[in-house]
Amino acid sequence: MSQITAIVTGATGSIGKAIAMKLAMNRNYKVILVCRNEKKAQNTVEEIQSVSGNPFIDYELVDLSNYSSIKALFKRWNQPLDILINNAAETPRQRQETPERLEKQFATNILGYLRLSKGFQDILMESSPSRIINVASYWAGDLDINDLQFTQRRYHNNTAYRQSKQANRMLTIALAERYKQLGITVNTCHPGDVNSALSNSLGFGGHQSPEQGAATPVWLATDPIGNSTTGKYFENKKITPCIFGRNIQAIEELYSLCETYC
């Protein structure tokens, strides 16, 4: 079999590292960790190589809240890409803005997914059949199309996080429709309730291990269903009805708005 190249964003976090580790256990996979902190990235690469015995593990330093950093990744990318797992997210307790003057969760959790998916479109198409997996959540809701960046509402990191996960699920449907003729599937999932820095920032714990949290994203990345199904939301390796997928007009409105930043 030819080598399969996969990107995992947020790969030094609890779920991201578990996803990368599970993929790396198959030495046919080359796994690229997209991270912000170089020391953490180096340590995670060394750990995954040591545990899996897979030497084909590497990292790219990218700030997913910063479009310039993302575009720099595109410029230096010189290899195929078969699987893109958008997993990175952050939940600052206070409203923060990026150098682009964008609210941080909007920039990272929503635009980060969309910018990578659109920027890698041609490379994914060349590698088709290929897959995009958007790690979202069942903890989704509160989206306000007229106030995506909390300039009118009082910012709360939990509300902003829920909004971003709703947006991930909606934009998955929009992308799936656009990419279905290109040989690229796009699906989204709830990973599981894992005790992580992110969940702690939101005021929650978690009763599942990182490995349990990684199970559904990895399954979508490796199982045949990930190539035969697109535009669906999954929980516990099962297609689950998504209430945010019913309003196509709202989905297209959100996509058109977010695309202006890409």
Confidence (pLDDT) at 1? 62
Q: Which residues pair with 7 in a beta bridge?
A: 32, 84
Confidence (pLDDT) at 196? 74
What are the C-alpha distances in Å from 119 to residues 81, 103, 122, 179? Answer: 12, 21, 8, 13
Confidence (pLDDT) at 61? 98
Q: What are phi and psi of 190, to 5 degrees?
A: -95, 125
Which residue, 221, 212, 162, is CA-closest to 188? 221
Confidence (pLDDT) at 194? 76
198-67-95 Cα angle (round to 5)? 45
Hey, what are 219's tokens?
Answer: 């399954």
In whole angstroms, what is the distance from residue 188 CA to residue 196 CA?
A: 20
**Max CA separation in the chain (angstroms):** 53
In whole angstroms, what is the distance from residue 198 CA to residue 212 CA?
A: 16
Confirm if 85 and 7 have CB atoms less than 8 A apart.
yes
Kindly list the averaged pLDDT for each block of 10 residues, start to end, along the chain of length 262: 92 96 97 97 98 98 98 98 97 96 98 98 97 96 98 96 97 98 97 78 76 96 97 97 96 98 97
In sign, the C-alpha dihedral spanning 120, 121, 125, 131 is: positive
For tokens 């409105």, name the residue: 253
Confidence (pLDDT) at 205? 67
Confidence (pLDDT) at 96? 97
Confidence (pLDDT) at 240? 97
